[in-house]
Structure formats: C-alpha cells, structure tokens
Amino acid sequence: MALKIIESCVNCFACEPLCPSKAIYEAKPHFLIDPKKCTECEGDFSVPQCASICPIEGAILDMFGEALNPPGSLTGIPPEKMAEAMAELQAH
Ligand code: SF4
Ligand code: SF4
C-alpha cells in the first residue's frame, strides 16, 4: 500500500517533514513518494499525514488512482459550481 504524488504538486514542502516513514523526497519536477517505504501511515497515524496537510486538491492519489483530497474537498466549492464559474469566465 502506498500513496502517490502527481504532477499537480506545487512543491510546497509541507508533506515531506510529516512523513513517519521518510518516504517523501524532493525530486524533479515534483515531490515523490517511495512506494517501498510508504505505509499509508498505518500504525503511526489514523490518516495519511501527507494528504492531511497537502493544500492542493488531487495532488495525492491512493493505489486506485483516487484523490485523497478530491475536487471541492479543500476549497468547499462543489466541482459543478467550479465548472460553471470557469465556463462563465471563459465566456467573457
Ligand atoms: S501516507 Fe504516510 S507514510 Fe505514506 S507518504 Fe504519506 S505521510 Fe508518508
Ligand atoms: S504537500 Fe502536496 S503540494 Fe506540497 S509538496 Fe507535498 S504533495 Fe506537493
């Protein structure tokens, strides 16, 4: 079991010091998780520490490719509202 950081990571450095397994490392073009070290925080914390601090929706995925912080989960803006707003902006 391991989580994965994808390209929407903004390299904010927040997650790296929190990882109890030292699985997160700085790389190019963005931080990565060593799948051999990541334990999903089991035994250390009740929730994955990296995902709990990550400010970017969709930057950390589980083994099924599901975002730990899905769209709307951090901003509180429902995805359909966001899509409407973006469409509105692009129309002008
Ligand atoms: S889930 Fe936990 S062990 Fe895995 S990378 Fe994130 S902080 Fe580290
Ligand atoms: S907290 Fe999120 S955005 Fe920041 S470095 Fe980690 S994965 Fe990237």
pLDDT tens string 13-68: 999 999 999 999 999 999 999 999 999 999 999 999 999 999 999 999 999 999 99
pLDDT confidence band for 92 (50 / 70 / 90): confident
Burial class (CB in 10 A: 0-12, 13-18, 19+), 13: exposed
Counting the structural domains of the chain, the total is 1
Residues 90 and 37: their CA atoms lie apart, in Å, by 43
Q: Tell me how far the alpha carbon of residue 14 lies from the centroid of ligand 2, in angstroms.
A: 6
Residues 33 and 3: their CA atoms lie apart, in Å, by 7
pLDDT of residue 2: 97
Q: Which residue's alpha carbon is at the smallest distance from atom 1 of ligand 1?
A: 40
Q: Does position 81 have pLDDT exceeding 90, yes or no?
A: yes
Q: Tell me how far the alpha carbon of residue 58 lies from the centroid of ligand 2, in angstroms.
A: 10
Segments forming the whole domain that contains residue 9: 1-92
Burial class (CB in 10 A: 0-12, 13-18, 19+), 31: buried
Radius of gyration for the chain, computed over Cα atoms and rounded to the nearest angstrom: 15
The CATH number that applies at residue 19 is: 3.30.70.20
